[in-house]
Amino acid sequence: MQDRLKRLPKVQTLLETELASQLIQTYGHEDVANAIRVRLQDARETIIANDHEPDLEAFNQSLFDDISQSLDIARASSLRRAINATGIIIHTNLGRARLAPKAIEAMTAVAADYSTLEMDVETGKRGSRHDHVEALICQLTGAEAALVVNNCAAAILTCLTALGAGKPVVASRGEMVEIGGSFRMPDVIAQSGAHLREVGTTNKTHLRDYADAIDNDTALLLKSHTSNYQVIGFTSVPSRQELAALAQQTGTHLIEDLGSGVLVDLALYGLPNEPVVRDVLAAGVDVVTFSGDKLLGGPQAGIIAGRRALIDQIKTHPIARAVRIDKLSLAALRATLDLYRAPNNPVEQIPVLQTLATSLETLRARARKLTDLIGAKQGLSLEIVATVARAGAGSLPQQDLPSLAVSVSSTSHSPDRLAKMLRQADTPVFGRISKDQLLLDMRAVVDSDITEIANAVSAISIK
Ligand SMILES: *Cc1c(COP(=O)(O)O)cnc(C)c1O
């Protein structure tokens, strides 16, 4: 066996070959040398395990192709474009909202060059990054003032810290929501330094429960949108108006975490009802928080809007600086908000809203195009089936959106295996498995994805 091992080429010898020097030009000496060492070690282990003659010719022949391929793969970013055929429109793990072309343009311009991020062009003096969106947010929501931070979780943490640290915050037991990941309302309140005073029960909280819990120290009443669950049956919560009046009588402030938060009444477009930020503020809520990349359809951001005195207090707190929004997201947010202003029609221009509003006829045409492009393939069967899509990310949680999917099944692969093969395509395709079928839902894909999906499905090898 020692003889056989000795017959393997040396690292140095391989590095001096013409093929190696070509690879070194592309990938650098260190990566190529390491890749050669790994291949040689594999070959040694194979010899030891099988105790047979190494096929040196085959080894040498495939060595540099293998290395080139594996270095290509290793260098490709793990963060890349993907196709969302899950039927979940705002899919947190797939990056939430697709941005409008205008938002992408604005982002690119600011990324490639210097910008007026914190510069007042009038005076040539330092400005505030909030100025680029504040007036627009106020116009669209009726708020007196606003600021934007990194995301909605940061928005809530910032509000609670700036307005409630060291003081009791009263909130309903029925609204102690966990959003997913590590966001749980009681933990966020604890982190802010405020003291949570939970009132009511899981299914019922009365106005008097809040009133009884308020004392001279109490700073805030906190209402949260139970965005990813619903308590149904024997339930009640006081209205926003009642809570706002109570806050006013007791010298406290009412904050509402809306999570998704929408700027236009989606019911006007035949879309399900979700609290509109303007209505929430008009009901007397002092400060609201909501996400930029959920139903608003913009970049990751957390918007804080409401009464000027409170917003000013939040803006100057050090935590607002620590969680401030970056210039790229700010540019994209500004451009997205612009699309909500006349003469634009947000449902025509903002991909999240477009996707919610896409008709079943369009989805059917997409599904047909996909099945046509794949065509008849031995061992693979395709069927267009009715499905239910979701808004996702805690938006419109109970709302079923009718959709259509292409179900893919094969004689030789399980649905899990098929799903995995599609995830491994150049542009990963994510479907969902339901009742032991792989479904490629047409709701959140776009027409231009269809050819790529078809190629990925066609590339599945059937034995
Ligand atoms: C999604 C959500 C959040 C968190 O928003 P991010 O922008 O992801 O930080 C907070 N509260 C509610 C009610 C939510 O639905």
Q: What is the pLDDT of residues 19-44, one digit of tens each?
A: 999 999 999 999 999 999 999 998 88
pLDDT at 178: 85
The answer on pLDDT for 315 being more than 90 is: yes
Supply the residue whose CA is at minimum distance from atom 3 of ligand 1: 259
Split at pLDDT 50, 70, 90, the class of 235 is: confident
Rounded distance between C-alpha atoms, residue 265 and residue 15, angstroms: 66
Number of H helices, E strands in the chain: 20, 15
CA dihedral 377, 380, 385, 391 (to 10 degrees): -100
Q: What is the 184 CA–ligand 1 centroid distance (Å)? A: 10
Q: Where are the alpha helices (DSSP H) in 89-176?
A: 101-112, 134-141, 152-164
pLDDT at 416: 96
Strand partners, 450: none
pLDDT at 58: 82
| Lowest-pLDDT range of 97-101, 266-270, 327-331, 428-432 | 266-270
pLDDT at 395: 64
Split at pLDDT 50, 70, 90, the class of 436 is: confident
Q: Who lines ligand 1 at CB under 6 A?
A: 151-153, 177, 179, 183, 224-225, 227, 257, 259-260, 291, 302, 393-394
- Render 332-380 in DSSP notation, one character per residue: HHHHHHHTTSTT--HHHH-HHHHHHH--HHHHHHHHHHHHHHH--BTTE
Sheet of strand 287-291: strand arrangement: 145-149, 302-306, 287-291, 253-259, 220-224, 168-172, 195-199
pLDDT at 193: 96
Rounded distance between C-alpha atoms, residue 33 and residue 181, angstroms: 40
Q: What is the pLDDT of residues 244-254, one digit of tens each?
A: 999 999 999 99
| Cα Rg, the chain, nearest whole Å | 28
Supply the residue whose CA is at minimum distance from atom 12 of ligand 1: 259
pLDDT at 166: 96
pLDDT at 2: 79
Please, what's the largest Cα pairwise distance for the chain? 92
Q: CB atoms < 10 A from the CB of 305, how many?
A: 29
- Between the CA of residue 344 and those of 107, 297, 298, what are the distances in Å? 19, 15, 15
Average pLDDT along the chain:
93
Q: What is the 381 CA–ligand 1 centroid distance (Å)? A: 40
Split at pLDDT 50, 70, 90, the class of 6 is: confident
| Lowest-pLDDT range of 6-15, 214-223, 226-235 | 226-235
Mean pLDDT along residues 317-329: 97
Supply the residue whose CA is at minimum distance from atom 13 of ligand 1: 259
Strand partners, 196: 169
pLDDT at 268: 74
Split at pLDDT 50, 70, 90, the class of 50 is: confident
pLDDT at 345: 93
Which has the closest alpha carbon to 257: 192, 185, 202, 161? 185
Q: What is the pLDDT of residues 266-305, one digit of tens each?
A: 887 666 678 899 999 999 999 999 999 999 999 999 999 9
